[in-house]
Structure 1
């Protein structure tokens, strides 16, 4: 195949790129979250604890709201990888080795961004733990928002075998909050839940899990399920988490995904520089993302 030398990062076309299609098929967060355009590496996004309402008598004074107004800070972090490709593989291969590498990176990135945003079980450090994950948010007390850490986390007594009561408790934790929106709610879950869900019945012996047919989505308790391979607990962000699976009940409007750049790539021709000695070129892929969940009372998690 012909070789093109690219001297700048080339962004993937969001509507047509196979890399982007792979990412949005695999990543629940990239597909569902509210996108926040970022023109710098940080951005403050307003957050409110709600606003009250009173009955106002004719000619009466309006009461003033005392709800807390604050903001969340989005900080862009870089996810990337480089692949060294031999000149022979580029020139002799029938398959497009560069496209194959890019799509492979996209799928790994998709799993890692879901893990980093939803299921990392430690505090943000900006490197191995790029964000405050949803799990960590729900596990942390925030007195300013009136939330006690762990309130909206339900852990199954038997690993990988959650009961009907545990599923019901988990979704009930978010249903009872001010941010519950029955028309705009998703369950993001690891596929490991599928096996256990098939055997869970409600008190009338009806299945709580309905597998979609002919393009209709899977649902649990009537809530659409989006499956994610990144939805397993891990100590640091990874594309191959191995901890217990989670099911997160979320409102996409509260899922704030900052998009600073990418996915994008640069191809560094091996005929230039030191790589000319080995007939190798380098393909680099990256995306810069930021994350925050708007309010801990607007989500809940079941640990399977």
Structure 2
């Protein structure tokens, strides 16, 4: 085939595809991106600095360390009969179409890995990162002064507990040092849409406001990003079946997304040694994710 491609090439997604990806993936759309020239990247982190008063300077004793971003691959493969690829234009069109289809599934799986996987992140395909859920439900590392479940709210699904539960999970972040009203965000599974619509405050006013076309919905004045990946799962999946979760992010800069490569594609045509005339299309991205500090996020889990 004249249009064969042997090397990995960047996919220049069109504006519509990229827009759909950002709409479907809260982490791709809102997290702070860090360009990675290697598989791992250290991002310096300060855990605060003391302020003195008066003419005598005192040394700061706060901890300075780093967050390690460790990239993993998200992949896809598609096999097509070469009789269906008559010319180079067909190859390009197939690449564009399949890349767009794959991006939708990738958006859900990547969000699930970053938001709601319950297992410990070890860099494997099943648990690539410590998710927001896992971070909130685990003890913080030395210097973070965070105890497991401090920023966790269990919501039993009862209407009488809804308002208090939603207010509580927001309060866990908005009263801390990592709250930035101008850059705050709620990430929620669409299962919470019905919960929001039926929740009102003591003045019978809805706490959820559906945004007009082109603007996000909001909860207590905080923009909401809807994500199908925001359901608990022991491993990363594009079809999580656990409990819906809602995440309050005090400052989206706390969501650290490492961008190692791509999306990229590789096309491999058949050879004379093959028994069939088929072309293989591979797709991949290499990403990393970490939460800069557990106190910058809070999780509400709908357990019933």
Q: Same fold (TM over 0.5)?
A: yes
SS in 2 for 1:266: strand
CA distance in 1, matches of 2:183, 2:161: 24
Q: 1:38 to 1:233 in 2, by over 3 A?
A: same
How far has the Cα of 1:291 moved from its partner? 0.8
Structural RMSD (CA): 2.2
Q: Which moved more, 1:121-130 or 1:161-170?
A: 161-170
1:116 corresponds to which residue? Answer: 113
How far has the Cα of 1:63 moved from its partner? 1.7
Instruction: String of CA shifts for 1:83-103, please: whole Å, max 9, x gaps.
Output: 11112333398x944322211
The answer as to whether partners of 2:247 and 2:299 remain within 8 angstroms in 1 is yes
2:103 corresponds to which residue? Answer: 106
2:85 corresponds to which residue? Answer: 90
SS in 2 for 1:78: strand
CA distance in 2, matches of 1:259, 1:160: 41
CA distance in 2, matches of 1:285, 1:18: 19
Q: Which runs of 5+ in 2 are unaligned?
A: none
1:24 corresponds to which residue? Answer: 22
Q: Which moved more, 1:212-221 or 1:294-303?
A: 212-221
Instruction: String of CA shifts for 1:137-159, please: whole Å, max 9, x gaps.
Output: 11111252110101111111237
1:249 corresponds to which residue? Answer: 248
The answer as to whether partners of 1:49 and 1:68 remain within 8 angstroms in 2 is yes
2:188 corresponds to which residue? Answer: 189
The answer as to whether partners of 1:19 and 1:103 remain within 8 angstroms in 2 is yes
Aligned length: 297
Instruction: String of CA shifts for 1:95-117, please: whole Å, max 9, x gaps.
Output: 94432221111111111111101
SS in 2 for 1:20: helix
CA distance in 1, matches of 2:280, 2:253: 38
Q: 1:129 to 1:82 in 2, by over 3 A?
A: same
SS in 2 for 1:170: helix
Pairing of 1:170-209 with structure 2 (within 5 A): 170-209=169-208
Q: 1:215 to 1:72 in 2, by over 3 A?
A: same
Q: TM-score normalised to the size of structure 1?
A: 0.92
The answer as to whether partners of 1:209 and 1:218 remain within 8 angstroms in 2 is yes
The answer as to whether partners of 2:47 and 2:143 remain within 8 angstroms in 1 is no
The answer as to whether partners of 1:13 and 1:20 remain within 8 angstroms in 2 is no
Q: 1:17 to 1:183 in 2, by over 3 A?
A: closer
CA distance in 2, matches of 1:181, 1:98: 41
The answer as to whether partners of 1:84 and 1:280 remain within 8 angstroms in 2 is yes
How far has the Cα of 1:273 moved from its partner? 5.5
1:262 corresponds to which residue? Answer: 262
How far has the Cα of 1:256 moved from its partner? 0.7
